[in-house]
Amino acid sequence: MASVEFRNVTKTFGSFNAVSDVSFSIGDGEFVCLLGPSGCGKTTSLRMIAGLETPTAGQVLIGGDDVTHYHPKDRQISMVFQDYALYPHMNLADNIAYPLKVRGKSVTERHGRAREVADVLKIGHLLDRLPSQISGGQQQRTSLARALVYPSQVYLFDEPLSNLDAKLRLEARGFLNHLQRDMGMTAVYVTHDQAEAMALATRIAVMDQGQIVQYASPIEIYRRPATTFVANFVGNPPMNLVPVDAVHGDGQLQLSAIGITLDGLTMSSAISAALGGGKTLTLGVRPEHLAIAEPGAPNTISGQLFANENMGPESLVTIERPDGSRVTARIFTDDHIALNDAVTLGFSREHVHLFDGVGNRIPADGE
């Protein structure tokens, strides 16, 4: 196992900046998820670690060595591909043992080792089959087995679960989590699924437009999203974001928007700095921090019921505010609220997130 480091890495394709001046490091034994929408540069970053793309500028280090210009075969890494890349003409045993074959291992060693790994992944009984003769979930495990069959410095995963159906995906996610805890492997995992990233990662790098927006532990990203982009991307359903007008005087900050009542907040230096850029801020509250409240009570948002989706253990209650924007609450309710009924949703002070005019987080007191 080894660490990975990016030093001012840039990758351009023609005039398109896939990755712009990114620096970050991954500690030995860490499981880092690169999370972001498609085209954010996460896969390109992963492929630069693998050596399948060469950076336009900057350095990539694995275990302290500058591997920027190493051929992929010389990097001692493993990678699981989104489409699994199982060789259609080889049976599972040969697929799994291919890395050992190119390392010149004997047939007996190859097959013994392939069987060991396959047994752990519960595909030991399929070793004679061709990839086309097994299910999608089994194919996924075969590609994982091929990555685990030889010792690696870093394990790379390129959306390995995105081709599985929902149930298998959960199962595979649990297995990967177990594996990571068991092996303590250094892993870089690309995904656009925030739940996957939250479940697996020791740290998440949220990427947008070729840059890392926030690099922190899952809980930190959930509790203190650095930007409205992160707030919107992590959490399901995403955080409600409402533009509010800010007025401040005698140490107090008053925020106002139609249909919203808010207690005054204590002014902080961070807030006054943010207000230098304009007097519109963004207020954020997560759906799970909203609950039905009395109309007119402090710290509430009100509107008319737009939709009420029963999810089993909870409901997603969406209201439409007078300006047409919508706010969703994740609440436990059996109440029969009719369409267009007036609904008031309340939240508590400590669950309020504030973002400045360009979407950056304004740290709360004590952050």
Partner 1 sequence: MKLTLSAFLGRIAFSALAALIGAAFALPLLWFLFAPFNARAELGLAVPDPWTLANFVTVFGNNFAVRALWNSLIQSVGGVILVGAAATLAAYALSRSALPGKRAVTYILLLFSSVVSGSAAMVPIFLIVSAAGLMDTHLAVILTFAGGLLPTAMFILRDFIDSIPKSYEESAMVAGASPVQAFFDVALPVIRPGIVVVVVWSFVNIWGSFLIPFILLRSDTNMPASVAIYSFYSEAGTPIVTLLAAYSLIYSLPVIALYLFVSWKFGFRFFGGIKA
Partner 2 sequence: MTTTQIETKPKRKVRNFALLSNKAGAAFLTPAGLLVSVFVIVPFFWVIFVSFTNRTLLGKTALNPEFVGLANYFTLFDPSNFLQRGQFGFSLILTTQFVLASALFGQALLGLLLAWLIQTVPPWVKRITETFVIAAWILPEVVIGFAWFAFLDRDQGTLNAMLTSVGLPKGDFLLEQPFWVIVVFNTWRGAAFSMMLFGSAFSSIPPSYFQAADVAGASSWQKFRDIGLPLIRGHIVTDLILITMWTFNTFTPFLLTNGGPSYRTELVSIYNYRVAFNDFQFGKGAAVGVIMMLINLAFALVYLSLGRKKKG
Q: What is the Cα 171 distance to its own chain's centre?
A: 18
Total of chain residues touching partner 2, rule CB under 8 A: 20
Question: What torsion, rounded to 10 degrees, do the Cα atoms 90, 48, 211, 162 define?
Answer: 10
3-class secondary-structure state, position 2: coil
Q: Of the two residues 180 and 227, which places its CB atom closer to partner 2 in the complex?
A: 180
HSE-CB of 78 using CA atoms within 13 angstroms = 26
Q: Of the two residues 43 and 240, which places its CB atom closer to partner 1 in the complex?
A: 43
By CB under 8 A, tell whether 336 contacts partner 1: no
> Which of positions 34-63 make contact with partner 1 (CB under 8 A)?
50-52
Handedness of CA 215, 221, 225, 229 (dihedral sign): positive
> Which of positions 74-103 make contact with partner 2 (CB under 8 A)?
74, 76, 103
For the record, the structure tokens of 337 come out as: 């609220």
In the β-sheet with 4-13, what is the strand arrangement from edge to edge?
16-26, 4-13, 57-62, 65-66
For the record, the structure tokens of 60 come out as: 């990539």
By CB under 8 A, tell whether 148 contacts partner 2: yes
Chosen from partner 2, partner 1, none, partner binding at 349 (C-beta under 5 to 8 Å by type) = none
Q: Which of 22, 92, 93, 156 touches partner 1 (CB under 8 A)?
A: 156
For the record, the structure tokens of 206 come out as: 């949220």
For the record, the structure tokens of 184 come out as: 């303590």
For the record, the structure tokens of 273 come out as: 């700095």
Q: Of the two residues 70 and 306, which places its CB atom closer to partner 2 in the complex?
A: 70
Nearest approach in angstroms of CB 169 to partner 2 is: 23
Single out the segment in contact with partner 1 by CB under 8 A; choices: 7-15, 74-82, 134-142, 281-289. Answer: 74-82
By CB under 8 A, tell whether 278 contacts partner 1: no
By CB under 8 A, tell whether 118 contacts partner 2: no
Q: Of the two residues 79 and 354, which places its CB atom closer to partner 2 in the complex?
A: 79
The CA angle 170-175-181, to the nearest 5 degrees, is 130
By CB under 8 A, tell whether 85 contacts partner 1: yes
Nearest approach in angstroms of CB 322 to partner 2 is: 42
By CB under 8 A, tell whether 13 contacts partner 1: no
Chosen from partner 2, partner 1, none, partner binding at 99 (C-beta under 5 to 8 Å by type) = partner 1
3-class secondary-structure state, position 269: helix
DSSP one-letter string for 304-362 = EEEEEEE-SSSEEEEEE-TTS-EEEEEE-----PPTT-EEEEE--GGG-EEE-TTSBB-
Chosen from partner 2, partner 1, none, partner binding at 54 (C-beta under 5 to 8 Å by type) = partner 2
By CB under 8 A, tell whether 120 contacts partner 2: yes
Handedness of CA 215, 216, 217, 219 (dihedral sign): negative
By CB under 8 A, tell whether 69 contacts partner 1: no
By CB under 8 A, tell whether 151 contacts partner 2: yes
Amino acid, single-letter form, for residue 206: V
Burial label for 283, CB within 10 Å (0-12, 13-18, 19+), is: buried
Binding site for partner 2 (CB under 8 A): 51-54, 69-72, 74, 76, 103, 117, 120, 148, 150-153, 182-183
Binding site for partner 1 (CB under 8 A): 50-52, 71-73, 75, 77-79, 81-83, 85, 87-89, 98-99, 101-103, 143, 146, 150, 156
